[in-house]
Chains A and B, each alone.
Chain A
């Protein structure tokens, strides 16, 4: 099944790392009702953190939490450090997409609850990895069936848990 939208969203990149099944379901609009406390907490955190510096950027499936123009720096705010790898590639994907537009910036992930930050930049290798991820991701979405359940510990916290294991 062909996806209408040509643009891969950051959420899709994130899910690519977390769970391919979640990626497939989400991309086919099988989304879950957002009533989990975790989701609620995430959106509250998003609303309340770094209010002063906030300047959201949105374009073609990309939504960057905030941008420091004078430092040429983009920020992504995250609740926990638990799924770091996906966070890193999410922001690298932003850098990749911005670079395509001729904008060279650096990135930072903020973990306000831990008072921690992590600097992210985009190397040549990263660019190759991302274009590889994009083609793999598109391949997954073309499959008629969703990928198998991953049966991992993280499933228990996932909003799709009941869907997958019912």
Chain B
């Protein structure tokens, strides 16, 4: 018996060794793609940010001068902090409005209220459109003289509320953020719904048997167990808010019009690096690269911290 089975065992071992060795080869294509399309641009941007740029030609090595300029040289530093402030507002409003509403909607659907399947589709519908289409559509709706919103307000005798929504610096940024919320609610809702559905029913029933009321069930059972999906949505919203670009570009162009009230860091970066959309606008590749590096470091650090915090929370539970 032993002699007979000896040979197969050796063969098996050989195969296993080969397999173990081969496993290290499999990530190569992925790594290759990752390095060409992600690592290389990052390193390139980093290297660009250390040089002086004369138009589109690279000048002398200037060390950290571009970074210092970004934070001190007028009018760039003003634009930088203004854009950063707008990004923070973008994040906060999205967290409260988009994720708040999405959570409520997910809960309604989870409770299987009549017509919830229809609601699920309806809420997710905007997500099917491309951001550019969404921007164009809302630009039409918000048009001060021909747009649906002002016409409807007029029909209901609320002329005093009619506004140049995207032309007034008081309303322009908020209008864009709310459009983004409208666009993002469906996705957030699906994440929350998945979180709700993964909560074991027995836990909720056991709590009810122990005499917990509805509010207690939500705060003591559902919310803590939903923490992973809440944290995921927070991280995603954070990243999305700080790299937001397409919607603003589609609705307001690359100058952050009117009067920089809708300027965001990514829009500011585009303007610096590629010269904006206005004819006769020049480029500042060095400053643009410096901004890209700062933005990357900020997003990466904050995301890492958030994820770490999330892991800790999960372990605690």
**Do chains A and B stick together as partners?**
no
* Chain B residues in the interface with A (C-beta under 8 A): none
